[in-house]
Structure 1
Amino acid sequence: MTDKAQRHQARMQKQKQIVDAQIQQADNDKGLLLCITGNGKGKSSSGFGMVARALGHDMNVGIVQFIKGAMSTGEEAFYRRFPDKVAYHVVGDGFTWDTQNLEQDKRSAEQGWAIVKSLLANPDINLILLDELNIVLKMQYLHSNLVLQDLAKRPSMQHVIITGRGAPPAIIDAADTVSRIDDVKHAFRDGIRAQKGVEL
């Protein structure tokens, strides 16, 4: 074995000891609250990826899509193929700059939240994706404190994922895991429209 290979092996052995110790200390189970925010692309994609992972474990999933109701998406077309495992609800009326109707947007958000509360109350639902909820909260169509109160009442092992840019500080503080996706570069700014299978 070369000196470089020996040094690499020694570093990886130390790394393994650290990781193994961390895994051993992480011995609690709980329903997680996850927040995926930031201005970059991939927040909803991450949430729907976790939905796929949950289905791989034969879990029951609830999906409530805020804001995006006016557009047809590939994820909706796909996950509606599993009506026995996925409760899929689209409750938005489209992007806020399209609707231009504050009262309508608030009503849609409140109606959507009533659906969310029914999912939160169901112990048979293992994971809930609240797609674009952060935008709803940022625009104050719903209040973060009310949302957090309802989330706190959910079954102890129920996981909830909240996506959307502009996550309010209260959501970030309450979440167990927060990921922020940065906008480094986007094809749209080069005049390329949203592509099926990538954005739609």
Structure 2
Amino acid sequence: MTTDSQAHTEKMKRIKAARDRLMKHKTGEKGLIIVHTGNGKGKSSSGFGMILRCIGHGMPCAVVQFIKGSMQSGERDVLKERFSDICAFHVMGEGFTWETQDRDRDTEMAQAAWDKAKDLIRDERNRMVLLDEINIALRYDYLDIDDVVRFLAEEKPPMTHVVLTGRSAKAPLIEIADLVSEMTEVKHPFREQNIKAQAGVEF
């Protein structure tokens, strides 16, 4: 008689064999265009997690923040203070759009951030470049989506990963992306419990 433990072992053996057959043919590598979007939490956090992975592997990388500006940020502080030799960090925005209330200035700052981003992406020493909240700049048309898509498709070095975060990713960007994740909000304490943004969770 087969025990639960034996049945589990046999099932796992079959899964492993199928997985090994699948992985045998997954041998390619390329620089990916990665989009984190959706209304749920975790888009920037996931991007910064990837940046930390790069640092852990000794891979030079860079971050350009398009929107958050001078807001306190634990990830920004630790990257600038401890890993500036391997991760260039550029805060280019001046805050959320409802705080600045100046479309011309927001557009100017977003364009400056995009110019910096292009320089960092063109530098093949950077294995990954995180464009934090660029989707917000694209959503409000502070940047030309066609220009961003064209650059990523035609000028991004073959082995450079580019991560683009923010809600409401536009369809042309999703179309050219290699990996798209949509964060879905199920519950949030800000709405349900009147809990403010907290250090270590949101920033």
TM-score, normalization by structure 2: 0.95
Structure 1: how far apart are the matches of 2:108 and 2:165?
A: 20
Residue-by-residue CA offset, 1:39-97 (whole Å, 9 max, x unaligned): 01111000000011000000001100011003121111010021210110011111111
Deviation at 1:2, TM superposition (A): 5.0
The 2-side partners of 1:71 and 1:52 are apart by 20
Q: Which residue of 2 aligns with 1:133?
A: 134
Runs of 5+ in structure 1 lacking a partner? Answer: none
1:184 to 171, 183, 186: 186
The whole-number CA distance in structure 1 between the counterparts of 2:86 and 2:149 is: 26
Name which of 190, 196, 200 aligns with 2:199: 196
Paired position in structure 1 for 2:157: 155
Shift of 1:10: 1.8
Q: In structure 2, what residue type is equivalent to 1:119?
A: L
Amino acid at match of 1:53: R
Give the Cα separation in 1 of the matches to 2:164 and 2:146: 15
Task: Show structure 2 runs of 5+ residues with no match.
Answer: none
The answer for the alignment partner of 1:79 in structure 2 is 79
TM-score (norm 1): 0.96
Which residue pairs with 2:109 in the alignment? 108
Amino acid at match of 1:71: M
The answer as to whether partners of 2:37 and 2:183 remain within 8 angstroms in 1 is: yes
State the partner residue of 2:177: 175
Match of 1:17, as an amino acid? A
Provide Cα deviations, 1:1-30, integer angstroms capped at 9, x if missing partner. Answer: 952122212221121122112211111110
| Structure-2 residue corresponding to 1:31 | 31
| Deviation >6 Å, runs of 4+ | none
Alignment partners' CA distance in 1, 2:178 and 2:50: 15
Matches of 1:162 and 1:93, distance apart in 2:
18
Task: Provide the rounded CA distance (Å) in 2 between the counterparts of 1:154 and 1:172.
Answer: 16
Aligned to 2:147: 146
Please tell me whether the aligned partners of residues 51 and 61 of structure 2 are also in contact (alpha carbons under 8 angstroms): yes
Percent identical pairs in the alignment equals 45
Mapped contact 2:70–2:91 kept (Cα < 8 A): no
Alpha-carbon distance between aligned partners in 1 of 2:140 and 2:86, rounded to the nearest angstrom: 31
Distance in 1 between residues matched to 2:33 and 2:190, nearest whole Å: 31
2:16 maps to which residue?
Answer: 16
The superposition leaves residues 86-113 of structure 1 with CA deviations (integer Å, 9 ceiling, x where unpaired) of 1100111111111111111110110001
Q: Counterparts of 2:73 and 2:183 in 1: how far apart (Å)?
A: 21
Note the aligned Cα RMSD (angstroms).
Answer: 1.2
Amino acid at match of 1:116: A
- Matched residue count: 200
What is the alpha-carbon distance in structure 1 between the residues aligned to residue 195 and residue 168 of structure 2? 24
Q: Does the CA contact (< 8 Å) of 2:63 and 2:89 recur in 1?
A: yes
